[in-house]
């Protein structure tokens, strides 16, 4: 038996920003050996990912493509882990994996849907970021010329000077998003990668070009609201003959080997720059996760449970 620190959801959070007190850290214990006859795997968690998509799981959800967290139990999400014991022929002790795991030091995963990490010359934490679900999501959505929007001057500078965006603006400082978009896109927007929702989507709809396309995979501005904001400019879909389509990266993981083949050389050559914001230790897990919704992180928010 060893001790097992865990991050627990206290209660469902229906609306509003999650607070640090909505989560608590406790210490249980765990046998570092699979139960007799188990075909699951036992892992030691190395890195955990703070993702906006965890927010809906803090509500009581019905009929969604993800399950709610359970109050009183550890929350879960994407992580990088090391296999300690395996009853599954696909994994063996010592394997490094990424995928769904618990927010705790050690997890017993009964039905593992995990990717084995083959390219270990990359930082392991990249597998919950640029080489994992978020990177794959961006890859599925588009590959193109980009104007970015971020919530601080530092982030805007980062977009323009380090990450290679052609243009960027600070949405918190713009008195009128419509004006900001007109400035950045004097001839209109061909493609919008929707991760924000609300006011931004309404302003974008006004600035789309004829036959423009909107690829949607998230709406972070809506996750803390009890009732989503209304979108008022959908008539633009007709006027501009716009195609708007939602997607989930879940449907595209068969392309994952192709994605890695494309992206790893580009990271190595410095053509794609990746920025992480790493918090250390499960004690800091609540702060890291709730900070995400206030924009405290600069770059991909990662939690290092223990360093490999």
Interacting residue ranges for a copy of itself, rule: CB under 8 A: 64-65, 197, 201, 216-219, 222, 227-248, 251
DSSP letters, 145-178, are --EEEESSHHHHHIIIIIS--SEEEETTT-S-HH
Q: Which is nearer to a copy of itself, 246 or 257 (CB)?
A: 246
| Least gap, CB of 262 to a copy of itself (angstroms) | 23
Q: Which is nearer to a copy of itself, 246 or 265 (CB)?
A: 246
Q: Which is nearer to a copy of itself, 228 or 265 (CB)?
A: 228
Q: Which is nearer to a copy of itself, 163 or 244 (CB)?
A: 244
| Least gap, CB of 214 to a copy of itself (angstroms) | 9
Dist. CA 206–CA 237, nearest whole Å: 10
Residue 70: name the closest of 26, 9, 111 by CA.
9
Triad 78, 75, 282: Cα angle to 5°: 80
| Least gap, CB of 190 to a copy of itself (angstroms) | 15
Dihedral in degrees, nearest 10, Cα atoms 132, 138, 139, 145: -140
| Least gap, CB of 237 to a copy of itself (angstroms) | 4
The sign of the torsion formed by the CA atoms of 255, 260, 261, 267 equals positive
Q: What distances in angstroms separate CA 85 from CA 2, 3, 11, 44, one per listed residue?
A: 15, 17, 32, 10
| Least gap, CB of 248 to a copy of itself (angstroms) | 6
- Kindly state the DSSP code that residue 295 receives in the 8-state scheme: T
Triad 294, 297, 302: Cα angle to 5°: 120
Dist. CA 303–CA 301, nearest whole Å: 7
DSSP letters, 125-138, are GGGGTTTSHHHHHH
Q: Which is nearer to a copy of itself, 164 or 228 (CB)?
A: 228
| Least gap, CB of 132 to a copy of itself (angstroms) | 19
Q: Which is nearer to a copy of itself, 1 or 238 (CB)?
A: 238
| Least gap, CB of 247 to a copy of itself (angstroms) | 5
| Least gap, CB of 295 to a copy of itself (angstroms) | 21
Dist. CA 15–CA 224, nearest whole Å: 5
Q: Which is nearer to a copy of itself, 51 or 104 (CB)?
A: 51
φ, ψ of residue 214 to 5 degrees: the values are -125, 120
Q: Which is nearer to a copy of itself, 76 or 221 (CB)?
A: 221
Q: Which is nearer to a copy of itself, 73 or 142 (CB)?
A: 142
Half-sphere exposure of 199 (CA within 13 A, CB side): 12
| Least gap, CB of 213 to a copy of itself (angstroms) | 9
Dist. CA 308–CA 303, nearest whole Å: 13
The answer to whether 124 and 117 have CB atoms below 8 angstroms apart is yes
């Amino acid at each position: 038996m060893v001790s097992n620190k865990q991050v627990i959801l206290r209660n469902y959070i229906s609306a509003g920003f999650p607070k640090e007190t909505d989560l608590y850290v406790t210490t249980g214990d765990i046998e570092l050996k699979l139960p007799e006859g188990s075909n699951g795997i036992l892992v030691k968690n190395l890195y955990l990912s703070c993702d906006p998509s965890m927010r809906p799981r803090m509500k009581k959800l019905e009929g969604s493509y993800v399950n709610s967290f359970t109050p009183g139990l550890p929350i879960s999400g994407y992580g990088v882990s090391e296999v300690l014991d395996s009853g599954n022929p696909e994994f063996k002790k010592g394997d490094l994996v990424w995928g769904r795991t618990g927010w705790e030091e050690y997890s017993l995963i009964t039905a593992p849907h995990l990717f084995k990490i083959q390219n270990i010359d990359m930082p392991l934490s990249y597998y919950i970021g640029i080489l994992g679900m978020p990177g794959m999501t961006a890859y599925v959505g588009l590959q193109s010329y980009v104007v970015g929007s971020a919530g601080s001057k530092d982030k805007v500078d980062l977009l323009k000077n380090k990450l290679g965006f052609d243009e960027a603006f600070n949405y918190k400082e713009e008195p009128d998003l419509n004006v900001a978009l007109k400035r950045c896109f004097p001839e209109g927007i061909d493609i919008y990668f929707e991760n924000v929702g609300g006011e931004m989507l309404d302003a974008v709809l006004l600035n789309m070009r004829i036959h423009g396309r909107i690829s949607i995979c998230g709406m972070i501005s809506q996750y803390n609201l009890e009732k989503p904001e209304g979108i008022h400019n959908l008539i633009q879909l007709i006027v501009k003959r716009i195609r708007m389509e939602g997607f989930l990266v879940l449907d595209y993981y068969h392309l994952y080997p192709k994605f890695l083949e494309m992206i790893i050389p580009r990271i190595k050559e410095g053509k794609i720059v990746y920025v992480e914001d790493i918090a250390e230790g499960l004690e800091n897990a609540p702060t890291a996760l709730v900070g995400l919704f206030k924009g405290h992180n600069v770059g991909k928010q990662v939690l290092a449970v223990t360093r490999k």
